[in-house]
Amino acid sequence: MKLIVGLGNPGEKYELNRHNIGFLAVDYLIDTFNARQISSKFKGELFKSSDFLFLKPSTFMNLSGESAVLVKNFYKIDNEDIVVVHDDIDLKTGALRFKRGGSNGGHNGLKSLDAYIGNDYWRVRVGVGRPERKEDVVKYVLSDFKKEEFECMQKLFSKIEKAVSDIQNAAPKFSQKEC
């Protein structure tokens, strides 16, 4: 059983923010894999399909590890079976990269996960671009996608589905260039 964790912030206010691409991708995967909600415990919403658990932490981004570790420990999931989908400002909008382990790159959701479960888990890095000025990063990631950016993101969801399926069998075999 694989655990797919989408990083984001709960609440309507954040729904279409760049920082919520992990939640948006997991929502797509929940529909695609016909998952059903099995719990709202674990400090998050947990869904299950035949092969996957899907988690949307309700702890806000900076505390995502609190939720993930509860599910990991309850279901006895190894880190090699955890896939985290998150935004990445170091990638151009629409770029998609996969890797296992590594640095959190300053991403507060990943910092929290690393603190609670270590850093040896799969990452699906979804490029959301970067603001022109470094001091605008927080405002930027907490802003909504522009229409054309959101359309690009929606096209990536099927590629994320393929990557998650590939991780189920072996390492993903492709890297996606931006839209």
What stretches of the chain show up as alpha helix (H) in DSSP? 21-32, 64-75, 108-117, 137-141, 147-169
pLDDT, position 168: 63
| Mean pLDDT of each 10-residue bin along the chain, 179 residues long | 96 95 97 94 96 96 97 96 96 91 93 97 94 90 93 90 76 57
pLDDT, position 55: 98
- 6 close to 22: Cβ distance less than 8 angstroms: yes
Cβ atoms within 10 A of the Cβ of 93, count?
Answer: 19
Cβ atoms within 10 A of the Cβ of 105, count?
Answer: 13
Cβ neighbors of 21 (< 8 A, separation 6 or more) are 8, 85, 86, 87, 126, 128, 153
pLDDT, position 134: 83
pLDDT, position 104: 92
Please, what are the domains in the chain?
Answer: 2-169 (3.40.50.1470)
Catalytic amino acids? Answer: 19
What distance in Å separates the CA atoms of residue 1 and residue 83, rounded to the nearest whole number? 11
pLDDT, position 140: 94
